[in-house]
Amino acid sequence: MSVVVCTECGNESDGDELFCDSCGTYLGWWGEKLEGSPEALVEAEAQAEGDTATATAVMARAPGAEATRRPPKTMRQAWRSVPGEIICQACENPSPPSAHFCRTCGTVLVGTPPVEERSRWDRVVRRRRVLRAGERPGWTRLRSEGPRRIPKQLAILAGGTVAATAFAVLCVWLWAHSVGHWAGGVAHRVRLDVYPYYDPIRPANASGDPQTKAHPGSAAFDRDLTTFWLSPSANGQKPPTGIGGRLVANFRPATDIDRISIFAGDPTGAELVPSRLRVGFYRWSRTAKGHWLLVDSTGISLANQPGYQTFPVTERGIGLAVITVKGVYAADSPGTAAITEIEFFKKH
């Protein structure tokens, strides 16, 4: 081991250093190099001063075991393993924190910040991958046509841009979908109010009370204008008029009803034409008597004329409709109330 003593300031430096780390003096010209181990240097100094006791004590020491030397570290490895050192900006070699000049090139180190100690999280996240032969720093490997390197900052920026674009597209799609759904619902409701479409609804089954075998209650819902329901006399009426007769229509499943069209009388005009009807709308319920709950009852006045007569209603979730004859028009010939056709419609 050799030591170089600066003749300008007296600072001791390692034998392989070219400049004094205290005053920056070039040690090749103004440095005194001392060869030998520390014990030999102490012995020589003690002998020069006449201290024979110290020299004898140093020489009497038994030589210790040779220390195992670690493999030499590169400059960057030494830089990372010793936080607090100052890195020369000219040659990138480390110097101790107390140095004012670089030990390798003599560059002034005053004002150069020391190396900060990295946190454990930073060391784990930003761990550098050991490159294999033929690779270059970056996110792509060396290819046959030459090195292709993607800067890390550019890759992060591109990834962030793609993620932000995808998020913006998703937000726009969700907004457009919600707004489109809302606008479609508003347009549908406006169309139903301004120009509605009506779909016919046929009951699952129908009957008359009372009814005859030739003219049953189901004939009023078969969409056939050659058949009709005839209401016989009820409750001993004299002369018989058919007032009090009922038609019962059952809907399965329950449905909404927005319009009723009625063809009153019979096709031949021989029977009486009802003048007033009462339509009761029922909804199925577990708690109601007979499991049918009356939700609305509408009175309808009919004109004494042939053809369909249409009446608007607004009923929701109807499972049963009961049409009762409440009055008839007077006629010259005897007869009872008759209804050729009744049709129900729902807005679409």
Tens digit of each residue's pLDDT (9 = 90 or more) over 206-235: 999 888 888 999 999 998 999 999 887 655
Q: Which of 107, 125, 143 is the last residue of a domain?
A: 125
What's the rounded mean pLDDT across residues 63-74? Answer: 50
Domain assignment present for 247: yes
Are residues 225 and 105 part of one domain? no
Domain assignment present for 174: no
Looking at the predicted structure, is the pLDDT value of residue 242 above 60?
A: yes
Give CA–CA dist 246/248, Å, rounded: 6
What's the rounded mean pLDDT across residues 325-347? Answer: 88
pLDDT single digits (tens) 150-179: 667 788 888 899 999 999 999 998 888 888
Report how many domains make up the chain: 2
Q: Which of 125, 141, 173 is the last residue of a domain?
A: 125
Return the number of other C-beta atoms located less than 10 Å from residue 249's C-beta.
24
Q: How confident is the model at residue 134 (pLDDT cuts 50, 70, 90)?
A: low
Looking at the predicted structure, is the pLDDT value of residue 340 above 80?
A: yes
Q: Which of 125, 145, 175 is the last residue of a domain?
A: 125
- For 128-140, give one letter per residue: b (16+ CB within 10 A) or e: eeeeeeeeeebee
Q: Tell me what pLDDT residue 323 has.
A: 94
Sign of the alpha-carbon dihedral angle for 304, 306, 310, 315: positive
pLDDT single digits (tens) 184-194: 888 877 877 77
Looking at the predicted structure, is the pLDDT value of residue 257 above 90?
A: yes
Domain assignment present for 137: no
Domain assignment present for 143: no
Mean pLDDT over each residue of the chain, to the nearest integer? 78
Q: Tell me what pLDDT residue 86 has.
A: 82
Three-class SS of residue 149?
Answer: coil
Are residues 206 and 101 part of one domain? no
Q: Tell me what pLDDT residue 47 has.
A: 58
Give CA–CA dist 164/170, Å, rounded: 10
Q: Tell me what pLDDT residue 11 has.
A: 80
Are residues 228 and 313 part of one domain? yes
Q: Tell me what pLDDT residue 113 has.
A: 80
Roughly how many angstroms between the first and final C-alpha of the chain, as a whole number? Answer: 102
Domain assignment present for 207: yes
Q: Tell me what pLDDT residue 178 has.
A: 85
DSSP string, 247-262: EEEEEEEEEEEEEEEE
Return the number of other C-beta atoms located less than 10 Å from residue 264's C-beta.
28
Looking at the predicted structure, is the pLDDT value of residue 77 above 50?
A: no
pLDDT single digits (tens) 291-328: 889 999 999 999 988 889 999 999 999 999 999 999 99
Are residues 326 and 216 part of one domain? yes
> φ, ψ for residue 147 (rounded to 5)?
-70, 135
Give CA–CA dist 220/339, Å, rounded: 6
Lowest model confidence (mean pLDDT) among 129-138, 143-152, 164-173: 143-152
Domain assignment present for 133: no
Looking at the predicted structure, is the pLDDT value of residue 267 above 50?
A: yes
Q: Tell me what pLDDT residue 49 has.
A: 57
Q: Tell me what pLDDT residue 332 has.
A: 73
Q: Tell me what pLDDT residue 4 has.
A: 81
Looking at the predicted structure, is the pLDDT value of residue 345 above 80?
A: yes
* Domain extent at residue 307: 200-347
Are residues 221 and 103 part of one domain? no
pLDDT single digits (tens) 92-121: 788 888 888 887 788 888 878 887 766 766
Whether the CB-CB separation of 88 and 100 falls below 8 Å is answered with no
Domain assignment present for 135: no
Looking at the predicted structure, is the pLDDT value of residue 143 above 70?
A: no
What's the rounded mean pLDDT across residues 80-100? Answer: 76
Q: Tell me what pLDDT residue 319 has.
A: 93
pLDDT single digits (tens) 2-44: 778 888 787 887 777 888 878 877 787 777 777 655 555 555 5
Domain assignment present for 35: yes
Residue in this structure with the two tokens 């726009």, named with its chain if needed: 172
Q: Tell me what pLDDT residue 41 has.
A: 56
Are residues 343 and 206 part of one domain? yes
CATH of residue 229's domain is 2.60.120.260
Are residues 224 and 337 part of one domain? yes
